Amino acid sequence: MSELDYSPEGINSILDLAVVIKNEIVVVDSRLVAEGLGIQHKNLLATISSYTKELERRTPLMRETEGTNSKGRPEVFYWLTKLQSNYLVTLSRNTPQVAEFKWALAERIEDLETQLIEARAALAKQRAINEATKSLVFLMLKKAAGDRPISDLIIEREQEHQATHRDLGTLNKYLAANPDRDFDSPDFDLQKFVDSCF
């Protein structure tokens, strides 16, 4: 196990990797919790095993594997929820370094939870705007369609849109073929020019 840098910068750099949002839940990587507590991960896994019932009171443990350990077996770790990580760190002996880690962990979790709440609020606001826009467009289409079905109006507008693009394409081809055309000259006649393009 590497020696953890217990300075605020060192702890924060570890927590940036250890505390993430998965499936819209803030979770903590058990390997980095062990490092922050200054213990080997296998010892934290033993503690998790001993306290599984308590840890799973509200949320099942999220067990994962990654790579292989020194014995060639898959390395097991857990994504711990806020409650699970808080419970586990309370079981650790408080040294000044561990106390600093616990505080930094709590702050990082709170920061991510705030970001998650803000993101959810922004998404809800965007959904409300989208729904209002759809309703407004529907009402505008209904008014523009009059007695006709809205689908007829949509088809008509799409055909107009396609015709405009076709006309612009023809105009671009003409301009590419006649790069020396002087549109600013006094003898330029816009109507003749348009008629010559189409």
| pLDDT bracket for residue 36 (50, 70, 90) | confident
Could you tell me the residue range of the domain that residue 56 belongs to? 8-110
Residues 106 and 13 in one domain: yes
- Measure the CA–CA gap between 92 and 170, rounded to whole angstroms: 75
Q: Considering the domain boundaries, does residue 2 fall inside one? A: no
Q: Considering the domain boundaries, does residue 36 fall inside one? A: yes
CB 64 within 8 A of CB 78: yes
Last residue of a domain, one of 88, 110, 132: 110
Name residue 77's beta-bridge partners: 64
Q: Cite the DSSP H helix spans in 51-197.
A: 52-55, 82-90, 96-145, 150-177, 190-197
Q: Considering the domain boundaries, does residue 66 fall inside one? A: yes
* Average pLDDT of the chain to the nearest whole number: 80
Residues 173 and 82 in one domain: no
Residues 42 and 106 in one domain: yes
| pLDDT bracket for residue 62 (50, 70, 90) | very high
Residues 6+ apart with CB under 8 A from 43: 34
Q: Residue 67: phi, psi to the nearest 5?
A: 60, -155
pTM value is 0.56
Residues 48 and 104 in one domain: yes
- The pairing of beta strand 25-29 with beta strand 19-22: antiparallel
What is the edge-to-edge ordering of all strands in the sheet holding 19-22? 19-22, 25-29, 74-80, 62-68
Q: What is the pLDDT of residue 187?
A: 64
Q: Considering the domain boundaries, does residue 130 fall inside one? A: no
Q: Considering the domain boundaries, does residue 141 fall inside one? A: no
- Measure the CA–CA gap between 146 and 161, rounded to whole angstroms: 20
Residues 91 and 165 in one domain: no
**Across 84-107, average pLDDT:** 88
Q: Considering the domain boundaries, does residue 133 fall inside one? A: no
Q: What is the dihedral of CA 180, 184, 187, 193, to 10 degrees?
A: 60
Q: Considering the domain boundaries, does residue 74 fall inside one? A: yes
Q: What is the pLDDT of residue 193?
A: 63
Q: Which two tokens stand for residue 15?
A: 């927590």
Q: Considering the domain boundaries, does residue 137 fall inside one? A: no
Residues 105 and 158 in one domain: no
Domains in the chain, number = 2
Residues 153 and 103 in one domain: no
Residues 155 and 100 in one domain: no
Length of the chain: 198
